Amino acid sequence: MFIRVALLGGLLLSLPQGTAQAATVSPGELINLVNGLRAANGLPALIEDAILDGTAYATAQAMAANGVCAHIGGARERIRAAGFGGGAVVFATENMACAVSATISDIQSWWSDSLHMMPMNEARYTHVGAGAYTASNGTTYYVLHAAYVGDGGSASLPGSTGGSAGQGQNPAEPLVEPVVTSTPQADGTIVHTVQYGQALDTIATWYGVTIAEIKALNHMTSNTIYVGDNLIIKIAPTATITPTRTLTPRQPTRTPSMTPTLTKTVMVSTPTPTRAPGLLDTLPKIDRQWLGFGLLLVSAAGLLLVLYFLFIRPRFKK
């Protein structure tokens, strides 16, 4: 079964502040990285191929033109169409990275998982090419193509030997499938079901999240995933409870009343002149009824005396 390999190893770094120039990596350094690791594993160095250099550069340029740090797909077909293998069956793998500033150590760390290490660890790869393209925004796109001819055919460079799969059979390579993103559920949760050949970093790139975020949501301690795993990519947003406005009847406002001020009235006593006691006041207290009766008798006696002296007595003198 002929299987296409497309490996993703990209990471965008923030532009450093200050006047320091952004670090970049040359295509030659990428090839030296691969061959250095192959030598450490006891494998022969890959042969740099001009066609693979061209396809790697064209891929980096296309990524920059689209402003997307992602595989454009069909790496094996594009490499074969460019002439590598002379029409024979071709197997290829593609590593990529994107950064504003990066060192070769950075790229090595991004390509440290088993899928990206295939050109460094697999003896069947024979040829390599690399390209780098810096976009107007300062981002440099790095692409490395490693390939071999599966049926014993020759590659493009004179004198190069085509890699054999052994006994005339072409071994199957791990496939890194493009990720078809899942539709968010009704509550906004996104769950991705891992398909054959998908890598954690590829899934993270297509969903626009980080590997660390996926691992945290799924309580993962490693980057290992298996076909059929359901990965939580995004959890449902927490609903914001809007408080219901309750109309509260307005209470009547009390009108402040004046607090009565106690006025202390000072009573000034005006002395009333006391009348000097008269003659009547000095007389013994007599009942008024008897007093009137006595006065009546005295008046009658006086009247009799007046009549006697005025009328009766003069008549007797004559």
Q: What is the distance between the alpha carbons of residues 193 and 32, in angstroms, rounded to a whole number?
A: 37
pLDDT in the model for residue 71:
81
Is this prediction's pTM over 0.95?
no
Q: What is the distance between the alpha carbons of residues 10 and 95, in angstroms, rounded to a whole number?
A: 9
Ranges 67-71, 143-147, 288-292, 311-315, most confident:
143-147
Q: What is the distance between the alpha carbons of residues 188 and 65, in angstroms, rounded to a whole number?
A: 32
pLDDT in the model for residue 270:
64
Whose tokens are 């077909």? That residue is 77
pLDDT in the model for residue 180:
57
* Residue 193: pLDDT over 80: yes
The domains found in the chain, sorted by start residue, are 1-176 (3.40.33.10), 177-237 (3.10.350.10)
Among the residue ranges 37-51, 64-78, 225-239, 260-274, the one predicted with the least confidence is: 260-274
Q: Please choose, from the candidates 91, 120, 112, the residue with its C-alpha nearest in 3D space to the C-alpha of residue 31.
A: 120
pLDDT in the model for residue 236:
79
Average pLDDT estimate for 37-61 = 95
pLDDT category, 284, cuts 50, 70, 90? low
- Could you report the per-residue pLDDT of 109-162, keeping only the tens digit for each? 999 998 899 999 999 999 999 999 999 999 999 999 999 997 544 454 433 333
Average pLDDT estimate for 183-196 = 83
pLDDT category, 218, cuts 50, 70, 90? very high
Among the residue ranges 81-85, 199-203, 268-272, the one predicted with the least confidence is: 268-272
Distances (CA, A) of 132 to 51, 129, 240, 255, 302: 15, 11, 47, 83, 165
